[in-house]
Structure 1
């Protein structure tokens, strides 16, 4: 299998054009992967909107809780991605393999833990959203089916992150395409009861999601096992506390950042729910349309994290900064175009989900506001990837805490509820938060304070207890 390092050797070019080509080469598969990953949620919302807005609201509320789970899974993936990229940048493939497997141990642990939490506390967690009884009942069904087998979500996050850290953005993309085609077909069959399948509504959507994630996990393991640099070694499944500490030191702030974001999201979602189920449904639909633009930003952030991470591992900090700047500008350009699409065609997009004129109007207004702040969102997402590559997950964490809890949640209440601006005020608040965080990241980057190289993995001076004869040469070479 051709991984990223092989690709880089073919087109490594010090020129500006060469760097841009390299960013695109890595970003485009990631964009496609992200698009198809997002398509799972998009398809569920689209199909369920044909049943009723209560179902849309139920899935949206459930996904807000699931996003907290994702925060933990993503943090493990971020830490593993960066450590793998740093190790390969330093030409230390054995270390990359080992730390990647240690990250999978964490993925299994937290996947099982969140599944148990769901088993016992699904309804109380959803009650925090202040949902109407009908929406709460529907949401509980969806939540239990999707989240009890959380281990598949967790493994997919980390397996994909390991492949991307090694520069292979194509394999996760292929897996994403396959499972989403299957998810769409199976979801349609189980939701509406066609092709001989029972009509299961929201439960059918949940079962299709779980089935697609199980398949995705198996396919990603297949690609890992066919990777020269990441294929599993039996001896590396023993818990290595030094590597676990490295992952925790980098992943904990990343987890806290996303947890701050998702917990804050639950708070302001509660404010939106108070505006009515139809308004919350409009918000969810608008978010599912806007996420198409998000995925472009995350694709470029993936490329920046890989390239900057490898350059930092090779002690080429100027080159890392160059990739961060180029990736940000390229994302800004593409997301500005998508922002224009959201601004001018938001009402049309809303009409694909519902025929309710008031809901369509709310969706259109939300997407107009969203379209205006897409350039700032591009900078926020891409520079966050650069900070993570530089082992600096703390500064984005602090920004997210302030942005979500002080600016976004506060302004959602003030503009949306207190001033009575409704969904317009909600999305203006979101935009102001994004502009604030993008600006702070940019200023800190320009000042040169974005790298935390002391957080980078330090070489070991002696072998750890689990060292085997098979890995002794790597140990001697300070892996």
Structure 2
């Protein structure tokens, strides 16, 4: 009994030590969009809707960058458990190549077709004009964002988290200061409104990238560019086999989320403004579970890489239990504070009513979402079970959630908070699928052994 208690204490200590820096970094990074939304909200509903549209497109690329970085982290966590620094460096090199290529293509397409894309989300000429300008400016930062995510994922997986956290803190402070001057036109700066928020975000991301890359040049576990780009065809194929399903899952899911936004944006400007604010609040609440998921992918990935599968499963059960309890606490806090959240923003009474109801609905849904995040971003991903992740996430969105949203919005014409409540069926279905997969034990794959066998053959 005493041995078991000591083991649990050791596990909790390890989890907390890894979660806290990741949580801090995620809170700080996510604050960039929250700060934009808060400061722009002082200008009115049209500006809020425009930034909301821009953030949805930004969110789509962010998911893509995360998934490219996830491919790096899955391998890095297992190679770190095996203490194979050479393979960690070549995996990083592969991630850098794909991050640069994908971000250049994505940025170019967004810049060229930004007006057409923004028009999907709103029919308001003012929202389209502002959203287009915001999106074009922010899209320039995509290559910096992708590189930062790839390097940060490698640093997290090897438990080197200090510099990414510091870089995020500096970026958010800088973004806040620049927002104040550029959005409202303080001092020598002209009043730029939505465009000012975009420029502030662009500069902040650039500074963050410079800091992270500067540290990585001196990091002892990171080799030279020559060592990083010494990867083989077999390694590239292995990375793609793991990462393509993650990219497919991320893009498919993010497109689904954007489809939800397009549906809600065509209900009314007030509905979409409320949804944009509520969505920002929800993302902030889910940061803790994203952090737990990322931390668990490191802990469990290290265990799988060192061939300790029983320990990996045991750790997973504990993480699921902890996440469930925390989800209940966060959900209760959102319900209690939802009226106060509405008072922060300069929005009319109708928008506040929508926001209040949406926050209540989202608080209830949050419990299932939190469990799913920990499964998908942590436990199942750490085992290399990326194809299942793709199936369950894309299937949940496109086969369950979106059909419900379309029917509820355009046939029954329900208020937005009822639509969001019905769409929650998607999360329930996904949660049951994840539990079934976990208890089947088919999610654990030692990628280091699979790669070694491929080389030998």
Which TM-score tier does this pair reach, normalised by the shorter chain? over 0.9
Distance across 2 between alignment mates of 1:247 and 1:59: 35
Name structure 1 gaps, 5 residues minimum: 1-12, 463-477
Question: Is the contact made by 2:185 and 2:192 (CA closer than 8 Å) also made in structure 1?
Answer: yes
Distance across 1 between alignment mates of 2:23 and 2:14: 14
Q: Deviations over 1:307-356 (max 9, x none)?
A: 11111111111111122222222222222211111112112102211241
Instruction: Please state whether the residue corresponding to 1:419 is helix, strand or coil.
Output: coil
Question: Is the contact made by 2:141 and 2:205 (CA closer than 8 Å) also made in structure 1?
Answer: no
The answer on 1:392 being equivalent to 2:385 is: yes
Q: Which of the two has greater helix per residue? A: 2
What's the RMSD between the two structures over aligned residues? 2.0
Q: Deviations over 1:178-229 (max 9, x none)?
A: 1111111111111011133221111110011011111111111123223221
The answer on 1:26 being equivalent to 2:25 is: no
Cα separation, partners in 2 of 1:226 and 1:14, compared to 1, 3 Å: farther
Cα separation, partners in 2 of 1:447 and 1:457, compared to 1, 3 Å: closer
Match of 1:119 in 2: 111
Match of 2:213 in 1: 221
Match of 2:341 in 1: 349
Instruction: Please state whether the residue corresponding to 1:108 is helix, strand or coil.
Output: helix
Question: Is the contact made by 2:305 and 2:448 (CA closer than 8 Å) also made in structure 1?
Answer: no
Distance across 1 between alignment mates of 2:350 and 2:272: 12
Distance across 2 between alignment mates of 1:304 and 1:376: 18
Corresponding pairs, count: 451
Distance across 1 between alignment mates of 2:422 and 2:280: 18
Instruction: Please state whether the residue corresponding to 1:128 is helix, strand or coil.
Output: helix
Question: Is the contact made by 2:138 and 2:201 (CA closer than 8 Å) also made in structure 1?
Answer: yes
The answer on 1:403 being equivalent to 2:399 is: no
TM-score w.r.t. structure 2 length?
Answer: 0.94
Distance across 1 between alignment mates of 2:237 and 2:45: 45
The answer on 1:422 being equivalent to 2:415 is: yes
Runs of 4+ displaced beyond 6 Å: none
Match of 1:436 in 2: 429
Cα separation, partners in 2 of 1:76 and 1:439, compared to 1, 3 Å: same
Worse overlay, 227-236 or 94-103: 227-236
Question: Is the contact made by 1:416 and 1:425 (CA closer than 8 Å) also made in structure 2?
Answer: no
Question: Is the contact made by 1:76 and 1:247 (CA closer than 8 Å) also made in structure 2?
Answer: no
Q: Deviations over 1:165-184 (max 9, x none)?
A: 11223332222111111111
Instruction: Please state whether the residue corresponding to 1:409 is helix, strand or coil.
Output: helix
Which one of 434, 441, 444 corresponds to residue 448 of structure 1?
Answer: 441
Residue correspondence of structure 1 range 463-478 to structure 2 within 5 A: none
Which one of 163, 167, 176 corresponds to residue 171 of structure 1?
Answer: 163
Which one of 282, 295, 301 corresponds to residue 309 of structure 1?
Answer: 301
Worse overlay, 383-392 or 355-364: 355-364
TM-score w.r.t. structure 1 length?
Answer: 0.90
Distance across 2 between alignment mates of 1:228 and 1:454: 24
Tell me by how many angstroms 1:373 deviates.
Answer: 2.3
Cα separation, partners in 2 of 1:235 and 1:168, compared to 1, 3 Å: closer
Match of 1:162 in 2: 154
Instruction: Please state whether the residue corresponding to 2:424 is helix, strand or coil.
Output: helix
Instruction: Please state whether the residue corresponding to 2:123 is helix, strand or coil.
Output: coil
Instruction: Please state whether the residue corresponding to 2:323 is helix, strand or coil.
Output: helix
Match of 1:275 in 2: 267
Question: Is the contact made by 2:121 and 2:266 (CA closer than 8 Å) also made in structure 1?
Answer: no
Match of 2:99 in 1: 107
Question: Is the contact made by 1:379 and 1:438 (CA closer than 8 Å) also made in structure 2?
Answer: yes
The answer on 1:92 being equivalent to 2:88 is: no
Instruction: Please state whether the residue corresponding to 2:121 is helix, strand or coil.
Output: coil
